[in-house]
């Protein structure tokens, strides 16, 4: 949010985001196949990919937040949700994945 007024920084950070976005197409399906096996890898990867469509449901939430608090409120809210998802992945999903692999 600090660099939002600078168009050069906007272009630079946009490029960084788009360069790192390919992770969803390479690492997520591979990790899913490593965890749950190759038998249903395509179906599981498709289920992971539907998260993009599910995220579209949150567009009305962003509109409501921007109407009442501006775009800063939207960015802070969704950044908080992103941090919560990261913590959940580390504290909830990582132990579940470890148990799944050990008990196969």
How high is the pLDDT of residue 92? 92
- Both 104 and 69 in one domain: the answer is yes
Report pLDDT digits (tens) over 21-33. 777 777 778 888 8
User: What's the domain count of the chain?
Assistant: 2
CA gap 40, 73 in Å, rounded:
40
Q: Above 80 in pLDDT, residue 80?
A: yes
SS3 80: helix
* Within a domain: 32: yes
What residue numbers bound the domain in which 9 lies?
1-49
- Both 1 and 44 in one domain: the answer is yes
* Within a domain: 54: no
Section 57-77 average pLDDT: 85
Whole-model pTM: value is 0.55
CA gap 44, 29 in Å, rounded:
8
Q: Above 80 in pLDDT, residue 18?
A: no
């Amino acid at each position: 949010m600090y660099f939002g007024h600078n168009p050069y920084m906007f272009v630079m950070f946009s490029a960084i985001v788009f360069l790192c976005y390919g992770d969803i197409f390479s690492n997520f399906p591979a990790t899913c196949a490593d965890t749950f096996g190759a038998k249903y890898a395509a179906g599981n990867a498709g289920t992971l990919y539907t998260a993009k469509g599910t995220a579209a449901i949150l567009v009305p939430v962003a509109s409501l937040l921007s109407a009442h608090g501006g775009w800063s409120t939207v960015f802070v809210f969704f950044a908080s949700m992103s941090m919560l998802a990261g913590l959940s992945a580390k504290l909830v999903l990582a132990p579940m994945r470890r148990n799944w692999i050990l008990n196969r």
